[in-house]
Structure 1
Amino acid sequence: MSELRAAALASKAWPFEEARKLVKRFEKKAPEKGYVLFETGYGPSGLPHIGTFGEVARTTMVRRAFEAISDIPTRLLCFSDDMDGLRKAPTNVPNREMLEEDLNLPLTRVRDPFGTHPSFGAHNNARLRAFLDDFGFDYEFASSTDYYREGRFDAALLQILERFDKVMEVMLPSLRAERQATYSPFLPVSPKTGHVLQVPTLERNVEKGTIVYEEPDGERVEIPVTGGACKLQWKPDWAMRWMALGVDYEMHGKDLIPSAALGLKICKAVGGPAPELYGYELFLDGEGQKISKSKGNGLSIEEWLAYASPESLSLFMFQKPKTAKRLHWDVIPKTVEEYHQHLRAYPDQELSGQVSNPAWHIHHGRPPADDMVVGFPLLLNLASVSGAEDREVLWGFIRRYAPEAAPETHPGLDAAVGRAVAYYHDKVKPSKVFREADARERAALADLAARLRGWEGEADAAELQNLVFEIGKGHGFEPLRDWFKALYEVLLGASQGPRFGGFVALYGVTETADLIDRALAGELLAAA
Structure 2
Amino acid sequence: MPRSNLIDQSPDVLAAAAESKAWPFEEAKKIVNRYKGRDYPETVLFETGYGPSGLPHIGTFGEVARTTMVRHAFRVLTQDKVKTKLLCFSDDMDGMRKIPDNVPDRAFLEPHLQKPLTAVPNPFGGDYESFGHHNNAMLRRFLDTFGFDYEFASATEYYKSGRFDDVLLRAAERYDQIMKVMLPTLGEERQATYSPFLPISPKSGRVLYVPMKHVDAKAGTITFDDEDGVETTLPVTGGKVKMQWKPDFGMRWAALGVDFEMFGKDHQTNAAIYDRICEILGGRAPEHFVYELFLDENGQKISKSKGNGLTIDEWLTYAPTESLGLYMYQRPRQAKKLYFDVIPKAVDEYYSFLSAYPRQAWKERLGNPVWHMHNGNPPAIELPVSFALLLNLVSASNAHDRSVLWGFISRHAPGVTPATHPELDKLTAYAIRYFDDFVKPTKVFRAPDEVEREALSALGVALGALPVEADGEAIQNAALNVARRIERYQDHSKQSPEGGPGVSVAFFQMIYQVLIGQERGPRFGSFAALYGVENTRALIEKALAGELVV
1:485-515 CA deviation, whole Å, 9 max, x = no partner?
Answer: 1111111111111111111110001111111
1:359-408 CA deviation, whole Å, 9 max, x = no partner?
Answer: 11111111112232110010000000101112111111001011211112
Q: CA deviation at 1:295?
A: 4.7
Q: CA deviation at 1:457?
A: 4.3
2:288 to 246, 269, 277: 277
1:330-354 CA deviation, whole Å, 9 max, x = no partner?
Answer: 1111111111100111111111111
Q: Which ranges in structure 2 are unaligned for 5 or more consecutive residues? A: 1-9, 492-503
1:171 paired to 2:182:
yes
In structure 2, the CA distance between the partners of 1:148 and 1:426, relative to structure 1 (3 Å rule), is same
2:5 corresponds in structure 1 to none
Question: 1: CA distance between counterparts of 2:362 and 2:453?
Answer: 50
In structure 2, the CA distance between the partners of 1:115 and 1:185, relative to structure 1 (3 Å rule), is same
2:31 to 22, 30, 35: 22
In structure 2, the CA distance between the partners of 1:383 and 1:29, relative to structure 1 (3 Å rule), is same
After TM superposition, the structure 1 = structure 2 runs for residues 219-368 of structure 1, keeping only pairs within 5 Å, are 219-368=230-379
1:186-213 CA deviation, whole Å, 9 max, x = no partner?
Answer: 0112233332221111112211112211
In structure 2, the CA distance between the partners of 1:293 and 1:143, relative to structure 1 (3 Å rule), is closer
1:51 paired to 2:75:
no
> What amino acid is the match of 2:490?
E
What is the root-mean-square deviation in Å for CA atoms of aligned residues? 1.7
2:48 corresponds in structure 1 to 40
> What amino acid is the match of 2:406?
W
> What amino acid is the match of 1:130?
R
- TM-score, length basis structure 1: 0.96
> What amino acid is the match of 1:61?
M
Q: CA deviation at 1:249?
A: 0.7
1:478 paired to 2:479:
no
2:71 to 60, 63, 69: 63
Structure 1 counterpart SS, 2:64: helix
Question: 1: CA distance between counterparts of 2:101 and 2:451?
Answer: 56
After TM superposition, the structure 1 = structure 2 runs for residues 360-379 of structure 1, keeping only pairs within 5 Å, are 360-379=371-390
Q: CA deviation at 1:58?
A: 0.9
Q: Which ranges in structure 1 are unaligned for 5 or more consecutive residues? A: none
Q: CA deviation at 1:185?
A: 0.3
Q: CA deviation at 1:447?
A: 1.4
After TM superposition, the structure 1 = structure 2 runs for residues 141-152 of structure 1, keeping only pairs within 5 Å, are 141-152=152-163
> What amino acid is the match of 2:19?
A
Question: 2: CA distance between counterparts of 1:475 and 1:464?
Answer: 18
1:121 corresponds in structure 2 to 132
Structure 2 counterpart SS, 1:248: strand
Q: CA deviation at 1:293?
A: 4.4
Question: Is the 1:379–1:417 Cα contact (8 Å) retained in structure 2?
Answer: yes
Question: Is the 1:83–1:144 Cα contact (8 Å) retained in structure 2?
Answer: yes
2:220 corresponds in structure 1 to 209
Q: Comparing 155-164 with 230-239, which one deviates more in the overlay? A: 155-164
In structure 2, the CA distance between the partners of 1:98 and 1:525, relative to structure 1 (3 Å rule), is closer
2:98 corresponds in structure 1 to 88
In structure 2, the CA distance between the partners of 1:118 and 1:303, relative to structure 1 (3 Å rule), is closer
After TM superposition, the structure 1 = structure 2 runs for residues 385-464 of structure 1, keeping only pairs within 5 Å, are 385-464=396-475
Q: CA deviation at 1:147?
A: 1.1
In structure 2, the CA distance between the partners of 1:183 and 1:364, relative to structure 1 (3 Å rule), is same
Structure 2 counterpart SS, 1:360: helix
- TM-score, length basis structure 2: 0.92
Question: Is the 2:56–2:304 Cα contact (8 Å) retained in structure 1?
Answer: no
Question: Is the 1:464–1:505 Cα contact (8 Å) retained in structure 2?
Answer: yes
1:4 paired to 2:13:
yes
* Amino-acid identity (%): 57
Q: CA deviation at 1:444?
A: 2.2
In structure 2, the CA distance between the partners of 1:496 and 1:30, relative to structure 1 (3 Å rule), is farther
Question: Is the 1:461–1:501 Cα contact (8 Å) retained in structure 2?
Answer: yes
1:105 paired to 2:115:
yes
In structure 2, the CA distance between the partners of 1:210 and 1:296, relative to structure 1 (3 Å rule), is closer
Q: CA deviation at 1:434?
A: 1.8
Question: 1: CA distance between counterparts of 2:176 and 2:480?
Answer: 74
Q: Comparing 238-247 with 258-267, which one deviates more in the overlay? A: 258-267
Q: Comparing 114-123 with 379-388, which one deviates more in the overlay? A: 114-123
> What amino acid is the match of 1:483?
F
1:489 paired to 2:519:
no
Question: 2: CA distance between counterparts of 1:227 and 1:295?
Answer: 33
Question: Is the 1:189–1:231 Cα contact (8 Å) retained in structure 2?
Answer: yes
Question: Is the 1:30–1:72 Cα contact (8 Å) retained in structure 2?
Answer: no
In structure 2, the CA distance between the partners of 1:187 and 1:126, relative to structure 1 (3 Å rule), is same
Question: Is the 1:37–1:75 Cα contact (8 Å) retained in structure 2?
Answer: yes
1:227-275 CA deviation, whole Å, 9 max, x = no partner?
Answer: 2121101110111001110111111111121232321222244442101
Structure 2 counterpart SS, 1:208: coil
Q: Comparing 431-440 with 313-322, which one deviates more in the overlay? A: 431-440
Q: Comparing 47-56 with 214-223, which one deviates more in the overlay? A: 214-223
Question: Is the 2:57–2:304 Cα contact (8 Å) retained in structure 1?
Answer: no
Question: 1: CA distance between counterparts of 2:135 and 2:74?
Answer: 31
Structure 2 counterpart SS, 1:330: helix
1:517 paired to 2:541:
yes
Q: CA deviation at 1:313?
A: 0.7
Structure 2 counterpart SS, 1:181: helix
1:507 corresponds in structure 2 to 531
Structure 2 counterpart SS, 1:524: coil
In structure 2, the CA distance between the partners of 1:143 and 1:297, relative to structure 1 (3 Å rule), is closer
Question: 2: CA distance between counterparts of 1:404 and 1:142?
Answer: 49
Question: Is the 1:434–1:489 Cα contact (8 Å) retained in structure 2?
Answer: yes
**Which one scores higher on RCO, CA 8 angstroms, separation ≥ 6?**
2
Question: 2: CA distance between counterparts of 1:301 and 1:383?
Answer: 25
